Each structure stands twice: as C-alpha cells, then as structure tokens.
A and B are shown apart, each in its own frame.
Chain A
C-alpha cells in the first residue's frame, strides 16, 4: 500500500474543506490558473491524453465526451455535475464534496472553460443537505477570491457555479433525467439521441459529469496527462475512490489505483471479512452490476478488469457479502429499491420491477412455486434491453446474476417453503420507504 491518496489527501485534517486549506495545502486553483493560459481545445486534448474515464458508472472517456459537445452553435453550453450519488453502496462523491469541495469547484470551472460553458450546475442528492451547505459556503468564498464569477483571474473568463438540490430520486442521477429535473420537470429520462452533448440542458449542448470525474480534472491540468495515466493500469489510469460496504471490518471510502485487486481492497484496505466469516460474493460496482465469486477476487478493480471478469466497475461501490447472506433475500431487498425508484416512464421497468419484487417476496417468504423461477427469469429478461434508460437493465441484474450463480438457493426456497438462510442480523420486519 505504497499509494499516497491524492483526491482524498489530508481529508481527515481539520478545516480540510476550506478555501485557505485548499490554496495553502493543496496547490488549490493552480490548475485553473494554468488552464486559463491554454486554448480550450488543448485542454480537451490533455484530458483525452490522460485517458480519464467517467467515474459515474459507465467509464466513458471524459475527453471524448467533451469533444462531442457541439461547439458550432450560438447557444450557451453547460456543465452539469452529477452529484446525485444514489446507487446503493456508493458514497464517494459525498466524501469529496464534504471534505474537498474546492477540488470539485475548480474542476467545474476548468471544465466549463474547456467546453466553452459559462455555467456549471451541481445537481446534488436531496439527502446531502449538510454537504450542500458546505459546498455553497465554499462556492461563495471562491467567488470572493475571484476563482468564480466575472473575469476570473483577470483572464476575461466568466464562470458561475450553482448548486441544485434534487428531491430524492435515484433516477435523477441518470444524465437526461438529471437535466429534466434541473429544468424543473419530473426526473424522467429523455430518449437519446439527441445526446446531451448536442441538446442537453434547455436543449443546449451539455456535458454531464460525475463529481469524482470533475475532481480529477485540476490534477490532470496541474500534473500533466502522463502523470495521470501512469497511475494504475493502461486505459484505467488515475486515482480512484472505492466505496467498500457490507461484511468487512472497516467499511469506508478508500483511494487506490485501479491496479489494486478486489482482494486487496477487501482484505487490506477494508480490513478483511467481518468476524472472519467466509467470503461469499461481491457486487463490485454498486447494486446494479453482476456479482463476482471468491475465485474472482484477484481481478484488478479497474473498468476493464472487472468487465473481463463478467461484471462492471460501475460506481465502484463494493458490496461485500459473507456466507450468511441469502441470495434470494438479497435480490428481494434490491428489487424493493428498484421498484420504489423506477421512474415509471417506460412500460417494462414500471411494470417489471413491481412484478419481480412481488415474485421475490413470494419466493423468499416460502410461498414460491416451481414455475416462479422460470417466471422470474422470464420477466427479468423481458426487461433487459427493452427499457428507455439503463435503469431497467440495472434492476434486472441482481435477479439474473443471483439466479445464475445461486440458483440452488432459489430452488431450496421453493422446495422447503421457507428461507433457507435466514441470517439473524436481518431485520425481522424490514421497513422499506414508500411502497
């Protein structure tokens, strides 16, 4: 563990969120100063050369995304920072904004300059109320110090950053739903194309980027793209935050290069399995990705590495499961979430999540019938690939993955008419919000 945290360096120090701390102890806003001496296009080239991939879930190359932003238009352009962070098991952006907010603010300003925008909106998850307060206070200070506002650092570049608080919807994190919500509408996704890069916020060219993605931008400008890509494996460069939760001794946010293996993250960073119980499986990318098994623990926790192992790095939310976890219960638990969060716009997701959820409740409670397993599989497959946004696939994944890897548990539930792994740590009467 020779790696020195960059994004999260010194975040345990008192006052780490303040402007003074940022400027004095972290070379704060030097990246912006340097960026403003460059041509916007060169900046985009630098980000491309760094190989920075989006940290929001899809791992899409950030430089390429910015390049797609329509330049040849009289319309204003926008940066939308996705701070909705609602994927179960994901809590890294929270830490960045709370402990190192100026890194994000600086990232927003540089990104605006790069794509020719003058405004960045930070769309923050509704529940992050105190984080929003910190962010807004620090943005205020950045304005006073001349890092935001008109004629920044005397270069003639103007940039505003606004924080917009969501009303609490997972789907608001989907980029087009986020844009709709910013526009004051229901957080429901739009059909693509047109992509936000062409017609996004107010039908203007827009780049939607994750908090962690934007936080990497000042570092790339300051230290150069080669420095960045040298951290971690090829095409998976740069510092990365991992959110580790579940049955580990020290759950939390850890920063590491993406060459780090899942095993190292679980056993070294997070201190190993809770109560030293056997490891059963891991969901490596937030709740929406397929599970990996013990024999896959040596997979590097990179976009490409995890994908090669059959899952996705997603939001890098590692949910660690020990041998007491019933996989039917797990799927049921997650489908409660997806049913509750489905925006309801498209048919397969709206009706399918509810149906899956009911089926899983029936099987988990021991009422399941043999044909329910095929049905569960069939309904999941009827969702996959047919929905308007990626939510549908995300919702079906926990079912399909657990059925594929642990079908015997499903069969045992049906055969024995009860949950065969009723861990005592599970709440007797699970309380689920809403429905």
Chain B
C-alpha cells in the first residue's frame, strides 16, 4: 500500500494514499470537528467546521475535502484556525434551539460535543431564531412511518439527503428553498418510506431526525452499556450493537432499548435495515416464554425442568426413537451453529443414520422492496443460519433464495405416520412459516405428540404438549453463518428470562436423558469440539470467536454516540465498551491517543 507522510500539529503521520486530512487526523486521534462528513457517504464540504491551516495554501482549507500529500504541513490549533472555527460554530448555533434537555440526541450529540470543545463561549446572536413548526418538541413533525423530523434543530449538513440518494438509492429527502430559508423536506411532505430509514437518526448529527421507536424513551446516560451482536432477521447478518438500559424499570422493565448498526466493511458497512433495528420488542415482551410447560388437559402448566425433562424422555421413547418417521424434527434456521451441531450429535446418537432424514430445516422468505441502487440490500431469507445448517449436513433444499419445502413432512404428519414432532425455533413469531397444518394435526389427534422448544407463546406453542423455554438471539453467545458464508459471533446482551435455557443446553439435557454422552458444560465446549471436528473450514475458528459482555462505559459520551460508533470501532479499541472484541477490527493498530472530550458537568 502506497503511503504518504504529512505533519499534523507537528506530528508526522503516515497514511495510505488517498486519505483526506480529516481522516488522517481522526485516525491519529487529533480532534477535528466535522458535520457534513460521514465516512459512509460522499464528501460535501459544506458545513465548514473542519477547516484547518495548510502551509503553502492561501486560505484555510476544509480538511474533509483535502487529500493528504507528501510533506503537507497541517495546523489544527493555530490561532487563526481556532478563531475561524469558532466563528463557524457560532453560525451553526444562531438558529439552533438549544433545547438539549428535551432533545433525544442530547448527551450523544456531535453538535453539543464539538460546540463545547470548539465553539465560542457565548453567541452574539440577538435576533429571533428561525422557527419552523413550533418550539421545543412541538416542532417534531411526521417524517414517514418510522421517523419524526424537527427542522428547528437541523443544521443542514445534508447527510440525510446524501444517505437517501447514495445508500438508500431513492433520493426522497431534499432541501427546499435556499439560503437561510433552506429546509429539509420530502416530496409533498410524504416523509421517508424506506427499509433503511432508521439509519437517518444515526447519520443526523443533531436531534433533527428521530426514530419513533427511540424518541422520548431514554437518555444516553441511562443506557450506558452496549453489546456487540449480529442481527438475525435475515441471512445478511448485519453487525449490530444492542443497547441496554441501566434502569429497566424506566422502560417498562425492558433492558433492550435500541439496536444500532456496527461498522463492518465486509457485511453491512455503517448501516442496518429497519427490520433488524426495530423488531426487538418481542424479546422482552409479554409473549416471551419464561419457563417450561407441560400440558394438563386443556391447559399448559408451568413446570420444573426436572419434570419436563423426564416427561419429554418418556414420551419420545414411547413414540419410538428408532425407525424412519416416528419422531420428526422441525428446526428453524434461527437456530445457531452450536445448536445445529449439538442437534446433529443428538440425532446421530438417537436415530443413527436416519437422524438427518428425520429433520426439516425451515425459514420464511420474502421480497424486500428496495430501489435498484440501494447499497445495503436486505436478503430475502428471513433467517440467519441457513448456510450454517447446510454446512453441518442438514438438508436445506432450495437454499437461501428459495422457500423451504415442508410438504414431505406435512404429508407424513397428515397421513398419521409421525408419532411426534419436535420443533426448535429461537426466532420471532412466524419464523417457521405456515404451521397451521401442524397445529391442526395435533388438535385433531393425527399427531400424538408435539414438542415446541422456542421463545414465544405462539399458536404452535399453545397447541404443544411440551413447551421448552429457549433463548432468543441476544440472550446467548452463539454463531451464525451468513449469506456470504461468514461465521459471525453474536453476543449475549440480556440473560434469558426466568428459567429459560440456552438452546444447546436443552438439547444436551435431552440427549443425556436418552443415554447419550454429550460432553458439554458450556457453549465454549460446544465450539471447541466443533472446531476440532471441522478442520480446514471456517468452523475451525469456532473456538476463537470473541463474544463481549455489556460493558459499562468509562465515559458515557464516548460510549453512547451511535452515529460515531464507527470511530470507536476503528480507533478507540482500548476504551470500553469496544475493548478487543470487534473481530474484524483486529490487526488495526492501536490508537496513539483518544479524542479528548471535555468532561461533562
């Protein structure tokens, strides 16, 4: 890689050719503010706060649009830069309402952070501010089904405009009018209708674009912990962060407070889709299974694992654990690599060669309408681990693009050939596809035994004889293999509720009760065995995947700014909550310094 060496504030810095001065400064831990610049979208050069002095150039230059050259000498703290920059900050705030106390961006707002650091202590503006739709949160107006817009707070950086044009592929946001009358708008005030809309709250450097989901729900200092996970809503596997609320009682008992994308250049860049972002409420919702249950007549009754396990063993053995179709497994592709691996050993041990034939892997598939030019394309298959199931030897038929074929299982069930169906589904409601036929077969007696190992009290679970409470994707350390065949680690963010158990453990317990030796006491044990069993494949790395824990932030400012999260991933690896866990980021040299932020309060 060709590099160029320049000097910033007296420090020699070598960067790959093509980097801009702003990028070089950020990577070297030298604080230069910026608003219109965002690493994932094109350079605009319009906010003008990133100005620096470069020797041999006549005027101050915007560092975001100046490419580094050998021998360039840059000053970010020269008196004229400091003064000029403060002047731009004063301009940025002349129309800004400074309603930080009621603004959802407050506390994680680049306008706040940078203004404190670089702006003048006071504004000389004494004319009335420009007001668009009212004062305070009254100015929040509908901005499509997922968003609200507060034009008073907008600093017209046009990140949102460029995001829609370049990443979404449909330029729905524009600016109407010009000069100081400029305002963010959509055609006929229709708002943003996009599968990627949530990213707009992340790219917006102020509290102008807000997701309805997060609005008024929390403050950054109330969600000090964040966990790196991987989204499991489609086979793309966007890398994400799960944010946890410090005081769950303030969020109706929920700890998960939002999902944001986590930078991975090879998978999702800086972005994620709205399905993965907003669809997390079920995990801590009322439908969540918290303990195992046994059927007693018409009712399912919560029971102790001990009782449930022996009942399960007895009934499965009664159904006949040998023979071709006596017991059938229906497994959602939401099951993790670990779960498929343990299941396979269970099947091999109990059913021998018939095991795989007795298993059907299922998922749903749907078209996600997106513009042709969309840079982040959501996958059709609504499950994270179809490839993992295939790699471990399960039949996945049509594969990631098509829909699974359940007709053989259905026919066998409806013909009365099947004595028991064991369903494994750690995914959200609907992950299995249409199972009304299965419910009907159990209800009319064609199917004598239905076991559901899942996370929600679905209609299927309600029809079951035995319900086993498992763990949803943020409730366990588990691996999934995405569309690209990439093995990814998703970390536990919240413990499974009540008595619910990690799914691999439920399977191990079942296997043991059936007399198998499944020598696993932890998910790491499973991964270690898997790694040893599959040398020469990506799975050989299974025991080296890194999982994180919710880490309390040393400095909540640094920890809680989702729109700047890419920066920590790249630069601040010595700081919580990103310490040493971002698998793809290893190999990037440790930062020399961190951007000093003024202490708050």
Contacts and interface: CB of A to CB of B under 8 A. Distances in A.
A15 B59 CA distance: 49
B59 A350 contact: no
Nearest to B64: A191
B84 A382 contact: yes
A351 B95 contact: yes
A348 B87 contact: yes
A352 B175 contact: no
Interface string B459-502: 00000000000000000000000000000000000000000000
Nearest to B128: A358
Given A350-B182, A386-B60, A435-B181, A344 B48 contact: no
A263 interface: no
A346 interface: yes
A178 interface: no
A355 B175 contact: no
Nearest to B157: A347
B181 A344 contact: yes
A381 B47 CA distance: 17
B62 interface: yes
Contact of A378 (B124, B127, B180): B124
Specify which of B47, B95, B180 lies most central, judged by the most chain A CB atoms within 10 Å of its CB: B180
Contacts of B182: 344, 350
A382 B90 contact: yes
Given A186-B175, A353-B180, A347 B91 contact: yes
A346 B47 contact: yes
A321 to B, nearest CB: 26
Given A348-B87, A348-B88, A343 B178 contact: yes
Contact of A385 (B60, B95, B124): B60
A351 B92 contact: yes
A423 interface: no
A347 B65 contact: no
> Contact residue range for chain B?
20 to 34
B180 A354 contact: yes
Contacts of A375: 124
B178 to A, nearest CB: 5
A347 B125 contact: no
A342 B179 contact: yes
A316 interface: no
A158 interface: no
A388 B45 contact: yes
Nearest to B155: A347
Given A344-B178, A346-B46, A348-B48, A382 B91 contact: yes
Interface in A323-362: 339-348, 350-355, 358
B44 interface: yes
A5 to B, nearest CB: 38
B47 A347 contact: yes
B548 to A, nearest CB: 38
B557 interface: no
B124 A191 contact: no
B127 A355 contact: yes
B346 interface: no
Given A350-B182, A435-B181, A385 B84 contact: yes
Interface in B279-325: none
Contacts of B155: 347
Contacts of A355: 91, 94, 125, 127
Contact of A386 (B43, B87, B94, B95): B87
B250 to A, nearest CB: 37
Contacts of B60: 385-386
Interface in B56-101: 59-60, 62, 65, 84, 87-88, 90-92, 94-95
A387 interface: yes
Contacts of B59: 385
B49 interface: yes
Interface string B30-51: 0000000000000111111101
B95 to A, nearest CB: 7
Given A191-B62, A351-B95, A344 B179 contact: yes
Contacts of A345: 46
A171 B49 CA distance: 22
A169 interface: yes
B45 A344 contact: no
A347 B127 contact: no
Contacts of B62: 191
B156 interface: yes
Contact of A388 (B46, B49, B84, B125): B46
B124 A347 contact: no
A342 B156 CA distance: 14
A387 B91 CA distance: 12
Contacts of A379: 124
A342 B92 contact: no
A343 B48 CA distance: 15
B47 to A, nearest CB: 5
A181 to B, nearest CB: 12
B47 A343 contact: no
Nearest to B85: A386
B540 to A, nearest CB: 46
A382 B178 contact: no
Contacts of A378: 87, 124
A169 B178 contact: yes
Contacts of A351: 91-92, 94-95, 180
Contacts of B87: 348, 378, 381-382, 386
A315 to B, nearest CB: 21
Given A186-B175, A191-B45, A388-B45, A350 B180 contact: yes
Q: Which of B43, B45, B49 has the most CB of A within 10 A?
A: B45
Contacts of B43: 191
A191 B51 CA distance: 13
B326 to A, nearest CB: 67
A347 B49 contact: yes
Given A343-B178, A344-B180, A386-B60, A191 B91 contact: no
B393 to A, nearest CB: 51
B84 A386 contact: yes
B179 A341 contact: yes
A354 B94 CA distance: 10
Contacts of A354: 179-180
B175 A353 contact: no
A77 B48 CA distance: 31
Contacts of A339: 179-180
Interface in A190-227: 191
A350 B177 CA distance: 12
B75 to A, nearest CB: 15
B270 to A, nearest CB: 22
Interface string B496-530: 00000000000000000000000000000000000
A339 B179 CA distance: 7
A344 B178 CA distance: 5
Nearest to A381: B87
B533 to A, nearest CB: 53
A343 B91 contact: no
Interface in A367-408: 375, 378-379, 381-382, 385-388
A385 B180 CA distance: 19
B181 A352 contact: no
A342 B180 contact: yes
A352 B84 CA distance: 13
Contacts of B175: 186, 344
Contacts of A343: 178-179
10 contacts: A191-B45, A344-B156, A350-B91, A351-B94, A351-B95, A353-B180, A385-B59, A386-B87, A434-B181, A435-B179
Q: 3 tightest CB-CB pairs across the interface, nearest first?
A: A382-B87, A191-B45, A354-B180
Given A339-B179, A346-B48, A350-B179, 10 more contacts: A191-B62, A339-B180, A344-B179, A346-B45, A347-B155, A347-B156, A351-B95, A352-B91, A382-B91, A385-B84
Interface of B: 43-49, 51, 59-60, 62, 65, 84, 87-88, 90-92, 94-95, 124-125, 127, 155-156, 175, 177-182
